[in-house]
Amino acid sequence: MFLEIGSLIFATLLFLWIYLSQKRPANFPPGPMGIPIFGYLPFLGATPHKKLGEIGTKWGPIFSLYYGSYPIVVLNTLPMIKDALRRDTFSGRPNHLLAMKLSRDGITFNDGPAGYEQRRFTLKTLRDLGFGKQSMEKLVEEEVHELVDYFGKNTNKPIELKHIFGLFVINALWSILVGDKFSVNDVRIQELYRMCIE
């Protein structure tokens, strides 16, 4: 008797939890249903950008789905995306990422007025240093060629991509700020990279 009542209560609570976890927030656009906890992630496959395009043909240019247990809105046309990225409303950061929970510092994870000011300051400073100009494009192109050469020389060795990409990015930024470049194997650039990631 108690086992049956307990099972009934458990089944009811489970059903309510599933229903409430998949219920879209108010004023959310329509979209496909997902699986509790996983959302629509299992259905996106190996090429999620193509799958989102297919979903857009059925649900329209604006739709929503669950990315895991988090509801997201997908903009599916280039003009809509450009319009959204021009608005301050869309300049915030998602607050559900683990890194966001652990650290609210810096440009990447900081949100709100302080984060907005930091991003504005960074963009203004980078523009003053040549960001978006031909000279900057040439410098980045040189770094990309050096990166490709590095990969060509180290084809038979394991390469930690995060580390090597970080070194080339730091080298490009160092070149913009100081006007000097390092070899990737130089101890000084590796120490600079280590200080930046700590």
Is the whole model's pTM more than 0.75, yes or no? no
Does any domain span residue 63?
Answer: yes
Is 89 part of any domain?
A: no
Conformation bin of residue 106: beta by default, left when phi > 0, alpha when psi is -120 to 50:
left
Query: Is residue 88 domain-resident?
Result: no
Out of 54, 75, 96, pick the residue that ends a domain.
75
Structure tokens at 29: 């656009």
What is the rounded CA–CA span in Å between residue 42 and residue 75?
Answer: 20
Per-residue model confidence as pLDDT tens digits over 45-95: 888 888 888 898 899 889 988 887 778 888 988 898 888 888 877 776 666
pLDDT digits (tens, 9 = 90+) for 144-189: 888 888 888 888 888 777 778 888 888 887 777 777 788 877 888 7
Range of the domain at 63: 2-75
Across 10-102, the runs of DSSP E, i.e. the strands, are 62-67, 70-75
- Read off the amino acid at residue 192: L
Nearest Cα neighbor of 183 from 170, 196, 194, 195 is 170
Question: Quick check: 121 pLDDT over 70?
Answer: yes
d(CA 106, CA 85) in angstroms, rounded, equals: 21
- Beta-bridged to residue 128, according to DSSP, are none
Q: How many domains does the chain have?
A: 2
